[in-house]
Amino acid sequence: MNLTVVGLGLIGGSLAKDLRTKGIAKTIIGSDKSLIHCQKAKELGIIDDYKPLEEAVKEADIVIVSVPVNATLKVLPQVLDNISEKTVVMDVGSTKSEICKLIQNHPKRKNYVANHPIAGTENSGPEAAIDGLFDKKTTIICEQEKSDPKAVLLIKIIHEAIGMHVIHMDADEHDRHIAYVSHLSHVISYVLGKTVLEIEKDETNIFELAGSGFASTARLAKSSPEMWTPIFLQNKKSLLKSVDEYIKNLNDFRELIANNDENALFEEIGKINDIRRVLDGLALKRAKGH
Amino acid sequence: MNLTVVGLGLIGGSLAKDLRTKGIAKTIIGSDKSLIHCQKAKELGIIDDYKPLEEAVKEADIVIVSVPVNATLKVLPQVLDNISEKTVVMDVGSTKSEICKLIQNHPKRKNYVANHPIAGTENSGPEAAIDGLFDKKTTIICEQEKSDPKAVLLIKIIHEAIGMHVIHMDADEHDRHIAYVSHLSHVISYVLGKTVLEIEKDETNIFELAGSGFASTARLAKSSPEMWTPIFLQNKKSLLKSVDEYIKNLNDFRELIANNDENALFEEIGKINDIRRVLDGLALKRAKGH
C-alpha cells in the first residue's frame, strides 16, 4: 500500500513508523510545508521521499492528514481535490465538528474518514515520532455514516493493526467530551505553568522545591502553540463551558479553604478521590489492550 | 541505631525501608493510632515491632514523625516530652511554619529538626511504602539555627545516605514556595477531577476519550483527604495567594479564547512553554542526582 503523510510531526511520523513496521505501508511519501521537516523525516527513515502536496497524494492508496487543526481546514479540501477515486483519506485532529461541517458537501466526502487517535506526548516535530505510540490506545471515528463503509473498514483495520481500540462517535459529541478530558487539562496546565513562572521572577530557586506532583500537573504546559491555539479556538464553545464549570468549582474549593471548613473540605476531597476508579480503570484497560 | 517511626504510612514506611536497607537503622519500632497499620507494617517487615507512642520513643536514637500535619501539632510535643536528651526527632510534613511556631519554646526544641522530603506518590498507608522513594530527591531542613548542630548534621547524613540532596530554608519561605510548586498543583488537580466527574453523570463513557494528558493532570486528585485537608488549612495564607493568582491567570487565558485572540493566545502559550526549561532541568538534575 502506498501511504502519503501530510504533516510530518509527532503523530504523522509515529503513524508512518508503526504502519511500516506492521508491514502495512510499503512506500511512504511525505509532504510538509517545512522543508526541514521533510528532510529530517527522510533522514530518519520515516518517509521514503517527499513531494509537494498535489503530487504527493496523487498516487496514494491512503492519505493521512496530520497537521494542526486550522491547517486541516485548508489542507483536507486540497487533498480531496487531488486524490483518485480509490484513495482513502483520514485526519488525526483533536476537533471534529468544524472540519466535518466544512467538507460535508465535497464531491469526495465519502473518501474521507474523520478520525482522532487519542495518543501523543508534549513534544513535536519528526524527531518526536516514536514507535508504538498508539499501542493499547483508543481512536475515534466520527460520522462514519458519511464515509464509504469500505473506507471506514480500512481505517479501522489499520488502527487495529497498530494496537488501537476503535470507537465511533458523533462529531459534536466528540468535541463536547474531548473538551473535558483533554482540552481542559491543557488549559489548566498552561495556567499553572504561567502562574509559577511569574512567581519565579520574584522568588529565586522556587523550583528547587518542585516534586513529581508539579512535574505531572505541569507536563502538558510544554505542548506547542502551533497545535493547541487552533484546537482551543475551534472547540471554543465546549471548552469555555468546561472552563467555566472549572472556575466555578475552583472558587467553591477556594471558599472551603478560606472558611477553614475542615469537614466539608475533607468530604469534598474524599468524593473527588473517586477519580481513582476512573484513572485505575483506564490504566487497567490499557494494560489489557481493552 | 534504634529508629522509631510514628505514623506508618507511605513516607514513614518508605523511610524505614530505605534506612534499614542502607544499614543505618538496626531496630525499627513503629507507632500508629491505627492497629491495622501497625500489624500490616510488622507483617511487611517495615518495622520489627510496634508500641504505644510514649513507650516507642523512650529508647529511640532517632524518631521520625510522619503523620498528617494537623496530627503533627499534637504528636510532636508528646514525642519531645517523652524522649531522652540524646534523641533526635524529625518530621516530614509539607508545612513548616505552624509546627515550628508551636514548639519554638519547647525545652527540647534543640532535639527537633524541621524537615520536609519532597517525595511521595498519590497512594497512602504502609502498603504504599516503596524502596528507593527518596533517591535523587530533595529534602528541606527549616530553621536549622534552632536545632542542635549535631542533630542537623545527623538528619543531613541519613538523608544523604538514602540518596537525597539536602537544602536549608526559612520555614515561612518554605511554606510560601511550596504553596506554588506543590499545594497549588493539588488544588487544581482536585478541581479537574471534580469537574470531569460531575460531567460524567450526564455524559456516559466520557472517559473512553481520556488519554495520558488527563491521567497526568488528574493524578494528584487521587491523594488522600487525611493528608491534604490539614496541609491546605495550615498553609492557607500562601495557598490562597497562589490560588487567587491562578484564578486571575485562568480568567485572562479564558478571555483570549473567548475573544478569538489567536495571536495573543499563540504568544502566551509560547511564553508558557518556558516551563520546559524548568521541567527538563528538574529531570536532568534528578537523573544526575544533583
Q: What is the DSSP string of B33-71?
A: S-HHHHHHHHHTTS-SEE--HHHHHHT-SEEEE-S-HHH
- What confidence score (pLDDT) does residue A202 get? 81
Contact A5, A66 (CB under 8 A): yes
Q: Do residue A123 and residue A187 come from a single domain?
A: no
Co-location of B199 and B66 in the same domain: no
Q: Is residue B203 pLDDT above 60, yes or no?
A: yes
- Of the two residues A63 and A120, the one the predictor is more confident about is A63
pLDDT at residue B102, rounded to an integer: 98
Question: Is there a domain that residue A24 lies in?
Answer: yes
Q: Is the pLDDT of residue A286 over 80?
A: no
Of A151, A169, A187, the residue that ends a domain is: A169
Best mutation target, A123, A249, A278, to test chain B (most B CBs within 10 A): A278
Residues of B in contact with A229 (CB under 8 A): 262, 265-266, 269
User: What range defines the domain where residue A110 resides?
Assistant: 2-169
Nearest to A254 among B212, B243, B282 (CB): B243
Residue B35 CB burial class (10 angstroms; 0-12, 13-18, ≥19): exposed
A278: which chain B residues are within 8 Å (Cβ-Cβ)? 196-197, 200, 207, 210, 218
Evaluate if residue B255 carries a pLDDT over 80: yes
Q: Which of A142, A279, A286 to mutate to test the interface with B (most CBs of B within 10 A)?
A: A279
Count the neighbouring beta carbons within 10 Å of the beta carbon of residue B204: 9
Task: Considering only the beta carbons, identify the residue of B182, B209, B243 that sits closest to A182.
Answer: B209
Instruction: Output the pLDDT for position B289.
Output: 63
How many Cβ pairs closer than 8 A exist between chain A and B?
315
Q: Average pLDDT in the B65-93 region?
A: 98
pLDDT at B119: 94
pLDDT confidence tier of residue B172, bands split at 50, 70 and 90:
very high
Within-domain flag for B112:
yes
Residue ending a domain, among A152, A169, A186, is: A169
Interface of B with A in 101-160 (CB under 8 A): 118-121, 137-138, 140
CATH of the domain at A189: 1.10.3660.10
User: What is the residue type of A285?
Assistant: K
Distance of CA A287 to the CA centre of its chain: 21
pLDDT band, very low/low/confident/very high, at B208 (cuts 50, 70, 90): confident
Indicate if the pLDDT at residue A287 is higher than 80. Answer: no
Contacts of A274 in chain B (CB under 8 A): 193, 197
B163 and B60 share one domain: yes
| Of the partner residues A181, A187, A213, the one whose CB lies closest to the CB of residue B206 | A181
Report pLDDT digits (tens) over A69-83.
999 999 999 999 999
Interval B265-285: pLDDT, tens: 999 999 999 999 888 888 887
pLDDT at B204 over 90: no
Give the gap in angstroms from C-alpha A197 to the nearest C-alpha of chain B: 7
Nearest by CB: A191 against B250, B265, B278: B250
Let me know whether B92 and B120 are in one domain: yes
Query: What confidence tier does A281 reach under pLDDT thresholds 50, 70, 90?
Result: confident
A290: confidence class by pLDDT, cuts 50, 70, 90: low
Is the domain of B135 the same as that of B198? no
Whole-number average pLDDT of chain B = 95
Top residue of B195, B203, B268 to mutate, by most chain A CBs within 10 Å, is B195
- In the predicted structure, residue B70 carries a pLDDT above the cut 90: yes
Tell me the chain A residues in contact with residue B197 when contact means C-beta distances shorter than 8 Å. Answer: 271-272, 274-275, 278
pLDDT for the residue numbered B201: 83
Contact check, Cβ <8 Å, B182/A140: no
Do the domain assignments include residue B180?
yes
- Both B192 and B205 in a single domain? yes
Q: Total domain count for chain B?
A: 2
Task: Tell me the mean pLDDT in the region A250-258.
Answer: 98
User: CA-CA distances (angstroms) from residue B41 to A153, B31, B38, B70, B225?
Assistant: 54, 10, 5, 22, 21
Q: What is the ipTM metric for this complex?
A: 0.94
Rounded to the nearest 5 percent, the helix, strand and coil shares of chain A are 60, 10, 30
Q: Does residue B267 lie in a domain region?
A: no
Is residue B284 less than 8 Å (CB to CB) from chain A? no
C-alpha torsion B260→B266→B269→B271, nearest 10: -130
For the segment A52-63, the average pLDDT, to the nearest whole number, is 97
Rounded average pLDDT over B242-271: 98
Closest-CA distance, A55 to chain B, in angstroms, reads 32
pLDDT (average), residues B29-58:
98
Shortest CA distance from B212: residue in chain A: A119
| B271 lies in some domain | no
For residues B74 and B98, is the Cβ–Cβ distance under 8 A?
no
Q: Mark whether B146 and B193 lie in a shared domain.
A: no
- List the beta strands (DSSP E) in B59-217: 62-65, 88-91, 112-117, 138-142, 165-169
Same-domain check for residues B145 and B18: yes
Q: In angstroms, what separates the C-alpha of A179 from chain B's closest C-alpha? A: 10
Clarify whether residues A200 and A165 are in a common domain: no
Q: Do A213 and B177 touch (CB under 8 A)?
A: no
CATH number, domain containing residue A134: 3.40.50.720
Let me know: does A171 contact A97? Beta carbons within 8 Å.
yes
Q: What is the mean pLDDT of residues A223-229?
A: 96
CA dist B239 to A169, B35, B161, B236, Å? 41, 34, 32, 5
Q: What is the tens place of the pLDDT at every residue in A115-158?
A: 999 999 889 999 999 999 999 999 999 999 999 999 999 999 99
Measured between CA atoms, the residue of chain A closest to residue B231 is A257
Instruction: Give the pLDDT confidence score for residue B118 in this predicted structure.
Output: 95
Identify all chain A residues contacting B260, using CB atoms and an 8 Å cutoff.
233, 236
- A75 is written with which cell numbers? 489542507
Chain A positions touching B192 (Cβ under 8 A) are: 184-185, 188, 246
- Is pLDDT of A289 > 70? no
Asked, for residue A48, whether it belongs to a domain, the answer is yes
The answer to the question of residue A283 being in a domain is no
Contact present, A208 and B182 (Cβ < 8 Å) = no
Q: What is the mean pLDDT of residues A43-70?
A: 98
Instruction: For residues A13 and A26, state if they share a domain.
Output: yes
Chain B nearest-CA residue for A232: B257
Domain boundary among the residues A169, A203, A229 is at A169
pLDDT tens-digit series, residues B121-146: 889 999 999 999 999 999 999 999 99
Query: Residue A139 carries which side chain, given as an amino acid letter?
Result: T
**Confidence check: pLDDT of B290 > 60:** no
**A106 and A245, same structural domain?**
no
Residue B28 covered by a domain: yes
Encode pLDDT of A176-202 as tens digits.
Answer: 999 999 999 999 999 999 999 999 888
Residues of A in contact with B120 (CB under 8 A): 211-213
CB contacts of B186 in chain A (<8 Å) are 213
Mean pLDDT of A83-102: 98
Do A210 and A229 lie in a common domain? yes
Give the mean pLDDT of B175-182: 96
Q: Above 80 in pLDDT, residue B286?
A: no
